[in-house]
C-alpha cells in the first residue's frame, strides 16, 4: 500500500483467491481465458452510465459493447454459472460497494487487471483483487522492459521482436520469410479501375440487440446520455462465435487483396479488404495470435501472397 494515498500498488501481482470468489468481468475482458473466471462462485457484469457520460460516443459503439457484455453474460449463465448483471450503475466500483459485494464478510472480488490505470486504481482502492492477464500479445511489463534505455521507441522494431518471440512468418533459420521484415513498399497500390472487394460478413441481430437498442433510447431520454450516429444494424461481432466467423471470412475472401490495397480508398466502400476484427479483438472475443496464425496458415497453404500475410500481422 502507498502510505501517502492508501492505494494498492498496481505493480504487485496478486495470487488468485480460493474458489468461490466473485469475478467481475469488464467490457473488454470477455475472453473465456479471463483469469478471474477460474474457480469463481459467481460472475458480475456492471454497465456504467458514468462511463457512457465520460465522452460522447457513437451509438454503434455503445450498442456493440453492451450487446457483447449481455451475450457473454447469457453464455456463462447457460453454462451453469451464477451471473449477476448490474445495469445503469454510476461506476463499476460504486456498484460493487453499494451492492454489498465488497467488505470484510463478503467473498473476495476478483477482476482481470484493467488496461486503464485509472480504472485499475479505482477497483484496487475499493478492495478488488487484480489478476494479471489481458488481450494483448505482450503485456505492459514486457513492453516496458523492451523499451527501457532506448533512445527511440519505434513500432517496427517491437513488431520484429514479437514475430521472433512467437515464431510468426519466419523461415527455418529464424529470419523473416522472404528476407524482409516489412513489405509495406509492395502494399501501397492505388485502386485500379473497377476494383470491387467482396462484401464483408455481417452478424444477424437477436433479442439481446433489440433490448440494447431500446435501452440506449431510454438512456438518452431519461439519463441524458448523449450519442451520435446510428447503431442500426449492428455491423460488428459481439460474441466469440461471431468473431470466428468474421476472421474466417477475412482469411477466405479478402486477405489476398489486403496487402496490395490495404491503403486504397474507393468511394462507397468502407471496408475494402480490411478484416473488421478490431472490435472483437478489443472486446477480448478474439485472440490476436489466433488471427496471426490464421493469416500465416493461409500463406503457407498458398492461398494468399506473402505481402498480404505480412501486412496483416502489423495491423
Provide the grid cell at 73.
453474460
Rounded (10°) CA dihedral 21, 22, 25, 31: 30
Give the pLDDT of residue 17: 47
Give the pLDDT of residue 66: 98
Note the pTM of the prediction, 2 decimals: 0.89
User: Which domains, from first to last, does the chain contain?
Assistant: 1-134+207-232 (3.40.50.620), 140-203+238-313 (1.25.40.80)
Give the pLDDT of residue 4: 31
Give the pLDDT of residue 211: 97
Are 247 and 286 in contact by the 8 Å Cβ rule? The answer is yes
Give the pLDDT of residue 6: 32
pLDDT digit of tens for each residue in the chain (315 aa)? Answer: 333 333 333 333 444 444 589 999 999 999 999 999 999 999 999 999 999 998 999 999 999 999 999 999 999 999 999 999 999 999 999 999 999 998 887 889 999 999 888 999 999 999 999 998 878 888 888 889 999 989 899 999 999 999 999 999 999 999 999 999 988 877 777 877 778 888 899 999 999 999 999 999 999 999 999 999 987 899 999 999 999 999 999 999 999 998 888 888 888 888 888 899 999 999 999 999 999 999 999 999 999 999 999 988 876
Amino acid at each position: 500500500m502507498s502510505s501517502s494515498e492508501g492505494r494498492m500498488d498496481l505493480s504487485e501481482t496478486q495470487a488468485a483467491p480460493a474458489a468461490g470468489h466473485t469475478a467481475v468481468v469488464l467490457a473488454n475482458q470477455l475472453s473465456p481465458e479471463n483469469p478471474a473466471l477460474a474457480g469463481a462462485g459467481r460472475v458480475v457484469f456492471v454497465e456504467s452510465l458514468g462511463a457512457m457520460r465520460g465522452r460522447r460516443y457513437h451509438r454503434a459503439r455503445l450498442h456493440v459493447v453492451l450487446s457483447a457484455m449481455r451475450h457473454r453474460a447469457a453464455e456463462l449463465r447457460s453454462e451453469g454459472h451464477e451471473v449477476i448483471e448490474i445495469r445503469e450503475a454510476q461506476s463499476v466500483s460504486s456498484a460493487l460497494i453499494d451492492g454489498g459485494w465488497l467488505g470484510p464478510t463478503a467473498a473476495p472480488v476478483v477482476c482481470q487487471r484493467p488496461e486503464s490505470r485509472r480504472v485499475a486504481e479505482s477497483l484496487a482502492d475499493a478492495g478488488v483483487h487484480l489478476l494479471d492477464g489481458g488481450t494483448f500479445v505482450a503485456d505492459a511489463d514486457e513492453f516496458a522492459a523492451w523499451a527501457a534505455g532506448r533512445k527511440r521507441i519505434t513500432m517496427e522494431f517491437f513488431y520484429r521482436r514479437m514475430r521472433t518471440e512467437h515464431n510468426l512468418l519466419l523461415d527455418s533459420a529464424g529470419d523473416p520469410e522472404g528476407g524482409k521484415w516489412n513489405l509495406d513498399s509492395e502494399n501501397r497500390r492505388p485502386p485500379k479501375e473497377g476494383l470491387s472487394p467482396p462484401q464483408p460478413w455481417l452478424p444477424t441481430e437477436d433479442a439481446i440487440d433489440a433490448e440494447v437498442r431500446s435501452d440506449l433510447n431510454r438512456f438518452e431520454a431519461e439519463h441524458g446520455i448523449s450519442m451520435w450516429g446510428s447503431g442500426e444494424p449492428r455491423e460488428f461481432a459481439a460474441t466469440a462465435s461471431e468473431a470466428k466467423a468474421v476472421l474466417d471470412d477475412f482469411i477466405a475472401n479478402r486477405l489476398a487483396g489486403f496487402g496490395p490495397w490495404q491503403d486504397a480508398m474507393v468511394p462507397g466502400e468502407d471496408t475494402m479488404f480490411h478484416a473488421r476484427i478490431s472490435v472483437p479483438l478489443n472486446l477480448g472475443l478474439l485472440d490476436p495470435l489466433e488471427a496471426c496464425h490464421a493469416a500465416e496458415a493461409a500463406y503457407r497453404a498458398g492461398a494468399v501472397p506473402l505481402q498480404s500475410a505480412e501486412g496483416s500481422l502489423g495491423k
